[in-house]
A and B are shown apart, each in its own frame.
Chain A
Amino acid sequence: MWSTKFLQAKEGESKTARFNQHLSDCFNFYYGDLMVKLVTFGFLIYQGILYVQLTDRPKEIFGPMNYFDSLLMPSFPATWVFYPVLAVIALGLYLSFKRPKVYWLRIGVFVGLMWVNAFKWSYGFFSHVGHILLIYHFLSMFLNSQIPSDEKDMATKSRSIALVYFGIFVTYSMSGIWKLLGLAYKIVFTPGVINWLHPDAARVNASVGFRDWDMDMSAISWVYDIPVFWQFMVLVMLFLQVFSFVGAVVRPLRLWFGIGNILFHVHNIIFIMIHFYLSPLMLLVVFFPYAFFMKGKLGAQHIAVEDVFFDKASNTYRRVYANGDKDEFSGFEARRQRLLDEKPFWAGWLFFPGVALVASWLGRTSTSKA
């Protein structure tokens, strides 16, 4: 069961195409992991500053919020414990970069981060605002960030990477599925009330967010007068969230689901007073297409595309690599693979779930008319 063949070759894809994909997966993961380490280092500095603020609070109101926390941090940590632990975690981060093969260093960093995270969230509520940082360190703790030299190893590694991405994206999918279920329930059982597709949904939702913070919303309330826009955005957001997990396996979509969820967080910060900062930052550094922007660094291993051919009559697209290997696609796949070479950034849109289905349906009706 472990050899599950997800991320399989597409029809028409050559061995070389697969090799290049695995190489850029490993490359992206290497730089992503490095950036996550830097973000984590910043997170530790932030916690160090936070400690000073939280020591001001009465010790009596501190209390662990879940089973991990009761185990890890039953009471407010003393200064001589807290700062040395921060320093040890920072050292662990550095060592895990220097010695990427040693997985127990990564496990140690994860446990340390769990401990540090318990500290801020022991005052009546356990927030999930730092969840992506923690999930990333959790799911990637057995991975070596270095790029393997062996072709087969690279393929296995890129499946491991996809699993880490899946673990991150699936949190958004779950959140989206809950909203979808909530919406369906409201439409079926209580059709009169405000559900997510009601024209006033965004307004009342924002109103509560602003009121929770005792902030005046009248200055921006005009944005909720724009007709249809918010309902449309709810549908876009539902789609992006529910299908986020697909981004783990469909490479051109990683960037787009990353961007989509970042925009979702930014929207929440501006319009609903729900402030998640670490999560969008993590999405940015984890899903940033490093290989695309740092082609020069990809190295000699990368096998360049020598030539491409598009045959309009038969609707086929062929890619010829420097080593003589060929990819050959037909139909809609030919068109989107061609766009992937010409406009690698925007081509991702053609890989969203459902697009191929609609395209094949449109293709069939247009040929039947002809």
Chain B
Amino acid sequence: MTIKQRYIATATLVIVSLVGSVCSFFTINAGKKEVYPFYYWKLYSQPAGWELTHSGYRIYATNDVTAWNRIPNYGRATFDRDETLYFLNPIANAIEEGNVTDEDLTKLKIWCGYLVPEFEHHKIVKETFNPREIIDQPEKFLTEDVYVVD
């Protein structure tokens, strides 16, 4: 390969990247997967919590269904904090939007049993809070059951 050919090939790759990223924008907006996984950079286009009300999902677990324990998002050796959220959020969102698949629900059940084995029953709870207030009042949030896993 001559240096000129290498240049042309590199320029082609850059164009492919840009086109791929534009395509990813459309496939994601259409609810499909990314076609080109590195370029879609719509992150934090607003500050998180800008509406002054923000929601997050947590696992609640218990052996006795009359009193549930909130399982905080702490890092585990095989599931760190981000991985925990990344796993839970898409499935919980799908449940709320009513388009969750049976496959996802099976995954969720296996996952809850794996992550929180010390309790028999698990449910997914949506917590809604004001990001300004939660800093000083970590207990001040509303809860809403999203899905009882088992």
Contacts and interface: CB of A to CB of B under 8 A. Distances in A.
What bracket does the count of chain B residues touching chain A fall in? 35 or more
A201 B14 contact: no
Contact of A60 (B79, B88, B107): B107
Contacts of B4: 156
B68 interface: no
Interface in B35-61: 35, 37-39, 41-52, 54, 56
A298 B114 CA distance: 56
Interface in B76-106: 77-79, 81-83, 85-91, 103, 106
A144 interface: yes
Contact of B72 (A159, A198, A214): A214
Interface stretch (B118-126, B128-136, B142-150): B128-136
A140 B83 CA distance: 30
Interface residues of A, number: 75
A139 B14 contact: yes
B33 A207 contact: no
A157 B52 contact: no
Contacts of B129: 211
Contacts, number: 193
A275 B37 contact: no
A207 B107 contact: no
Question: Interface on chain A toward B: helix, strand, loop, or mixed SS?
Answer: helix
A156 B4 CA distance: 7
Contacts of A211: 54, 56, 129, 131, 134
A208 interface: yes
Given A58-B110, A159-B7, A208-B131, A68 B37 contact: yes
B35 A142 contact: no
Contact of B135 (A103, A207, A214): A207
Given A134-B38, A143-B10, A203 B1 contact: no
Given A58-B111, A123-B87, A142-B1, A163 B14 contact: yes
Contact of A205 (B11, B44, B78, B136): B44
A86 B89 CA distance: 31
A181 B47 contact: no
Interface in A133-182: 134-135, 138-144, 148, 153, 156-157, 159-160, 163-164, 166-167, 170-172, 174-175, 178-179, 181-182
Contact of B73 (A124, A139, A212): A212
B81 A170 contact: no
Contacts of B43: 175, 178
Interface stretch (A188-196, A303-311, A333-341): A188-196
Nearest to A179: B45
Contacts of A138: 13, 17, 38
A66 interface: yes
A221 B137 CA distance: 13
Given A66-B37, A128-B38, A195-B50, A61 B111 contact: yes
Given A138-B38, A139-B13, A142-B5, 13 more contacts: A53-B77, A57-B78, A58-B111, A60-B106, A153-B3, A174-B21, A174-B39, A193-B50, A204-B131, A204-B132, A205-B44, A211-B54, A214-B81
5 contacts: A171-B39, A198-B47, A205-B50, A212-B56, A213-B73
